Every structure is written in structure tokens, then in C-alpha cells.
Amino acid sequence: MQKIETANAPKAIGPYSQGIIHNGFLFISGQLPLDPGTGNISGTTSAEQARQCLENLKAIAEASGADMTRVVKTTVLLTDLTEFAAVNEVYAGYFSDPFPARACYQVAALPKGALVEIEAIVALKP
């Protein structure tokens, strides 16, 4: 296993890595909408926060030498499922057909009071 870490994404706020490479895949930990420079939540709406989550995912993917076109699976966590359409609109701007497989769940709460968290699995080689 190889640890992936970049200053272009927020530091882990617990005992986990930003990303781990194993068997040709990059497993990116759930990304909160934290600004990497300040560590504070970026955005007040679910859509704004989703954009920051995806920017953080993108930075970690790029640190491994990959990009968002290599994402094969995501999991989206929302504190309010009625925000699904707004988050989907932002999400669609980061991916193209064939879109990654995805699961989306409503959760009771997320760390630091975030509204959105997104994790991803990235295939490193075609």
C-alpha cells in the first residue's frame, strides 16, 4: 500500500489517510468541504460544499498521477436528501459519460457540521 497526501486537499482530521493506492486503485477517503488552506468549511449551501468536496477529491487524484476521468465509484453523503438535485448539478460538472458508479445516502450528521461528504475509488491504469 502507498499513502497519497497533498497540501492541495485538507489534512486528515482523524487516524486515516487522504488516499491509499492498492492493487492499481486509489481509494480516496471521504472528503468534507474543507478549504485546504484554512481547514474551515467552504460554502454554506450543499451545492457549494459539494464543489469543494469534489475539488478536494480532484487534488488527491492528481497527487497520485490520475484525474477525475479515472474515477470508477463514488459515495455521496448528504445531511438532507432534498438537496440531491442541487448536488447532482455540481457533480455532473466533474464527470462525463461513462459516469462513475455511485451511491448516495442521507445521514444524520457529518463531521464539523458539513452538509456533504464524498469519497471515491480511482482506477490508476486503463
Sign for the CA dihedral angle at 104, 126, 20, 113 comes to: negative
Is 104 marked active-site?
yes
Average pLDDT of the residues in 103-125: 97
Task: Please give the single-letter amino acid code of residue 71.
Answer: V
Residue 126's pLDDT is 66
Alpha-carbon distance 113 to 8, whole Å? 22
In this predicted model, what pLDDT tens digit does every residue of 17-64 receive, in sequence order?
A: 999 999 999 999 999 999 999 999 999 999 999 999 999 999 999 999
**Catalytic-role residue among 104, 110, 121, 124:** 104
Residue 124's pLDDT is 96
In this predicted model, what pLDDT tens digit does every residue of 71-94 receive, in sequence order?
A: 999 999 999 999 999 999 999 999
Ordered by start, the domain boundaries in the chain are 2-123
Alpha-carbon distance 76 to 88, whole Å? 10
Residue 125's pLDDT is 80
- Kindly state the percentage of the chain with pLDDT values over 70: 99
**Topology of 2-123 in CATH?**
60s Ribosomal Protein L30; Chain: A; (3.30.1330)
